[in-house]
Amino acid sequence: MTKATFFAMFMVILVLGTVMKDTQGQELCHDLFAEPQICNPTQCANQCTAKWKGSGKCLGETKSCICTFKCKK
């Protein structure tokens, strides 16, 4: 159940990123981090800002953090 929920949320984020790309004229990329413990929202956001200068969010009550950032051209 947890894996199914994780993949469903990940796919929704990818679809939303694609739609946003078309409407805003810029391409967004995503990177997924697997945390050793349940994802900490502050740590997730800081990690994404440091690595990609993007925003990060935890995927529910999982160990996964997804970063959204502008793709390099």
Q: Would you state the pLDDT for residue 61?
A: 85
**The residue to which tokens 């502050």 are assigned:** 42
**Cβ-proximal residues to 46 (8 Å cutoff; 6+ apart), any chain:** 56
Half-sphere exposure of 6 (CA within 13 A, CB side): 14
Per-residue pLDDT tens digits for 13-22: 766 666 554 4
Give residue limits of the domains in the chain.
2-70
pTM above 0.85, yes or no: no
Q: What is the pLDDT along the chain (73 residues), one digit of tens a residue?
A: 577 676 667 666 766 666 554 445 578 999 998 888 999 999 999 999 999 999 999 998 899 999 999 987 6
